[in-house]
Amino acid sequence: MDADSFHRLAKVLADSGEAVTIEAAQAKFSAYGVRIVLDQSVVDDVSAQVIALTAINAASRSFLGNVYIDAPRDMVLRAPGFLGLMLGEFSAWVGVTAVSREQAQAWPAIVITANTTVGAVADDRAIQPWADGWRYGVGPKSSGAGGFFAPACVAAAGLAVSEAFSILRCDNPYAGRRAVTLSLWSPSCLENGTPPPMAGVKVPGVWLVGLGHLGQAYAWTLGFMKPEANATLVLQDVDIISKSTLSTSMLSTAAEMGHRKTRVAASWLEARGYATAIVERRFDETQRVHPTEPRLALFGVDNAAARRVVEGAGFSTVVDAGLGSGFRDFRAMRVRTFPGPSSAAALWAADTVNPDMAQAPAYQALIAGGADPCGVTTLASRAVGAPFVGCVAAGYAIAELLRRQLGGDACSVVDLNLRDPGGLEALLGA
C-alpha cells in the first residue's frame, strides 16, 4: 500500500482506529454508496441539472463509483459545458459503476427536483438539495425565483453528499432530517440586501493557484459560468495527476494520470469558452503579478510557505480557502480574503504540523507485517479529503470574489463545518 493509492476518504476509518487494518478499512468503505434520484422536472431545469451533475461527480469519487442513479430514461443534458450529452455518458466519465437497485436500497437517497410544490418528494427522509439564486440548502425547495447561479448549485450538491456521508457513518443524528438554508450573497444574514440579476454575473480574469482538491472544484464551478469579455484565467500548479487525485478532485480521470494538472484544467476551461494561461512553477516569495495579468486570485494550496507570502505578489484581492485535513475536521473550511484584518504572513508564520496518525492500529499492523516504516509514515501523514467539501468551499470562495465585484458586502472570513452547517460564522468587512 503506497501513499498515492489509498483512497483519501477511506482513510477516515484507518486514522480513527475504527478499522484495525488497511484491508478492513477498504472492505468497510467499499460498502458505502448513495442513491441519486432525478425526477422529470430536472430534464428542463439547468439549476437542478448542475446540482445533479455535481452530486453524481462528487459521490462517485467519494464512494468508489458506488452511485445508483434513478433518472428519466435517455436524459439529455442542458447544463453549460455538457449541452447535448447523455446522462449515461456523463456517469461513465465520472466512474459510476453498475449497481443493482437491491444493493442500493440500504444507501441514503439524494432526491433532486425543480418542483417547489410542498410534498413533491414522497420520501420524507431523502436529502433534497436545492439552489435559488445565491441561496442554497437541503430540505424543501424555495420559490425558485432567484435564477441560476452555479456556485450555489455546486455548494448545494456538496452539502447533500456530505449529509449522505454522515448517514452512512451514523455520526450525526440530524443528517438527512434537517432543513438548511444558506446564502452566498449574505453568508452572515439571509435577509441582508437583494442580489443583482443573475444575467449580469460573469467571471473576471483571475488566477487559480493550486489545481488539486480545491483548485479543481473552482474550475468545475467556473465551467458552468460565463467569462467577462477578454478575461483570462491564469492556472498555476506544478503537480501531475496521481491515483489519489481521482478521489478528491472534480476534473481528473484515470486516463489523465501522469498529466499535468494545469493542462487538464486548461483544456476543461477552454472547452467552456475561457481563455487560459499556464504557470508551471511553485508559488513563492519571488512571484509578482505583471501589470497585464489579472489582479484577483483564488488560492487553493495547502502549504503554509506559499500562503504566508500571498500578499506580496501584487494581487488586489486574494480569496484563500483552507480545509481541515484530519478524520475529525476534514469537513471544516475557512475562507479568508486578503487584504483583511490579519496578515497572511502572521496567520501562517509557522509551517502546519499534521497529527501523527502512524500510531493508529491499521498503520502499526502494516509495520508488523513487514512494511517499510518510512513508507507507512508517509501514508499515515496524507490528509483525509473528500470532493464534496471542496465543492462547498468553492461556492463560498467564488461567490466572495464576485460579490465584491458586484458591490455587495465583503466578508473577510467565513467558517463552516458541514457537520453543523447551521453554525456558519462570517466576519463582515474587507
CA geometry: angle 143, 403, 266, nearest 5 deg: 100
Do residues 66 and 28 make contact, with C-beta atoms less than 8 angstroms apart?
Answer: no
* E strand residue ranges, 180-240: 180-183, 206-209, 232-236
Q: What is the DSSP string of 123-166?
A: -TTSB-EEEETTEEEESS----TT---HHHHHHHHHHHHHHHHH
Nearest CA to 386 out of 59, 36, 35 is that of 59
Q: Which three cell numbers stand for residue 403?
A: 460579490
Do residues 402 and 201 make contact, with C-beta atoms less than 8 angstroms apart?
Answer: yes
Question: How many residues appear in the chain?
Answer: 430
List the catalytic residues.
374
Q: Which residues of 14-23 are buried (b: 16+ CB within 10 A; e: fewer)?
A: bbbebbebbe
Nearest CA to 67 out of 112, 22, 24 is that of 112
Q: Which three cell numbers stand for residue 10?
A: 477511506
Q: Which three cell numbers stand for residue 324?
A: 481541515
**Angle between helix 22-29 and helix 361-368 axes, rounded to 10 deg:** 130
d(CA 96, CA 83): 20
- Helix, strand, coil percentages, rounded to 5, for the chain: 35, 15, 50
| Dihedral Cα 25, 29, 30, 34, nearest 10 deg | 180
d(CA 421, CA 430): 23
Q: Which residue has the cell 452530486?
A: 55
d(CA 363, CA 153): 38
Q: Which three cell numbers stand for residue 426?
A: 462570517
d(CA 13, CA 29): 8
* Cα-trace Rg, the chain: 21
CA dist 381 to 11, 275, 363, Å?
Answer: 10, 37, 11
